[in-house]
């Protein structure tokens, strides 16, 4: 299949390399020093499974440099969603599926509103990976999987199955979801609560899990977000504290969220799409979100300073 990776950073670069090794024609969009290094030497991915590379001939700095593609993995930061979506028109047609693997719960709607062609699917990537140097990505979590599916009914079911088969050939664990909205919210609960708290506190996942009081606070933050979902008739199963933390223990205990790395590298963060969204929804729905208010208030000044 012909695939565009729109945003070949930690997530996009990893899956792009895997898909290329699966025999697909993969085009990776990057920018800045990362693009320059990839164009010269290719993209190297050091992962818990081994090392992967992408040939530099398929490294581009704009989607316009790629041919018409079968599907897109849309992996840019949430604050670049609109500008990145507007660049896709040359490479999509009515049968192209765009899978958003971004953080947050409303990216799909934004992308679809800017496209005249193509169908936008929701997607969830469970992975811990990041750019460690220009042209080099490290995956360290040890647990990697994708869930994806249409936001409204079964749009383009044959193409969805083709994509699922493509992931399987590339040895990517993937699941075609019957209700991707629930998957999006479950990830949203985790990254806003555990991820936001770890970024604010600078603690690793293992350090959070090691202290009962800290675990209790993080789980309370998760319950705040769960309340927002239930108030909007999103039928999540009730969160169970033991099950949540046992799931977290499956990842490397030194895992840190992407917002932490953006914070310490003095880059803009996805705070508005994550904890900012929780705070705003809480106000709209009349549901208190005191822990997320604290996380948002603590991280927002850094984001604003580094966005100038």
pLDDT above 70 covers a percentage of the chain that reads 99
Question: What pLDDT score does 250 carry?
Answer: 83
Tens-place pLDDT, residues 186-198: 999 999 999 999 9
Question: What pLDDT score does 130 carry?
Answer: 92
Q: List domains and CATH numbers for the chain.
A: 2-178 (3.40.50.720), 182-306 (1.10.1040.10)
CA dist 41 and 113 (Å) reads 36
Tens-place pLDDT, residues 86-104: 999 999 999 999 999 999 9
* Res 230 pLDDT > 80: yes
Q: What are all long-range contacts of 231-237, with beta carbons under 8 Å and residues at least 24 apart?
A: 231/285, 231/287, 232/285, 234/181, 234/182, 234/185, 235/182, 236/182, 236/185, 236/186
Tens-place pLDDT, residues 155-187: 778 899 999 999 999 999 999 998 999 999 999
* Res 54 pLDDT > 90: no
Instruction: Give the residue among 142, 144, 97 at the shortest CA–CA distance from 125.
Output: 144
Tens-place pLDDT, residues 259-307: 999 999 999 999 999 999 999 999 999 999 999 999 999 999 999 999 9
CA dist 42 and 58 (Å) reads 9
Instruction: Give the residue among 34, 30, 36 at the shortest CA–CA distance from 6.
Output: 30
* Res 154 pLDDT > 70: no
């Amino acid at each position: 299949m012909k695939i565009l990776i729109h945003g070949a950073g930690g997530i996009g670069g990893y899956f792009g390399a895997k898909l290329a090794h699966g025999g697909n024609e993969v085009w990776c969009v990057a920018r800045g020093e990362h693009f320059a290094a990839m164009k010269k030497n290719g993209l190297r991915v050091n992962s818990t499974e081994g090392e992967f590379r992408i040939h530099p001939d398929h490294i581009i700095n704009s989607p316009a440099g790629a041919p018409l593609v079968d599907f897109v993995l849309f992996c840019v930061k949430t604050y670049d969603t609109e500008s990145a979506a507007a660049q896709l028109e040359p490479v999509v047609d009515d049968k192209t599926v765009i899978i958003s693997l971004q953080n947050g719960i409303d990216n799909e709607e934004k992308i679809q509103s800017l496209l005249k062609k193509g169908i936008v699917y929701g997607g969830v990537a469970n992975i811990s990976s990041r750019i460690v140097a220009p042209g080099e990505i490290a995956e360290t979590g040890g647990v990697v999987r994708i869930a994806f599916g249409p936001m409204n009914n079964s749009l383009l079911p044959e193409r969805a199955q083709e994509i699922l088969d493509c992931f399987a050939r590339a040895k990517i664990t993937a699941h075609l979801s019957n209700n991707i909205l629930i998957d999006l919210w479950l990830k949203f609960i985790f990254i806003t609560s555990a991820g936001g708290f770890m970024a604010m506190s600078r603690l690793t996942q293992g350090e959070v899990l090691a202290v009962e009081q800290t675990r209790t606070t993080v789980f309370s933050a998760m319950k705040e977000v769960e309340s927002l979902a239930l108030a909007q008739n999103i039928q999540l199963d009730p969160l169970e504290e033991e099950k949540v933390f046992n799931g977290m223990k499956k990842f490397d205990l030194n895992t840190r969220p992407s917002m932490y790395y953006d914070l310490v590298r003095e880059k803009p963060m996805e705070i508005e799409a994550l904890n900012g969204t929780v705070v705003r929804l809480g106000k709209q729905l009349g549901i208190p979100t005191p822990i997320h208010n604290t996380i948002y208030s603590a991280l927002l000044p850094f984001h604003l300073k580094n966005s100038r």
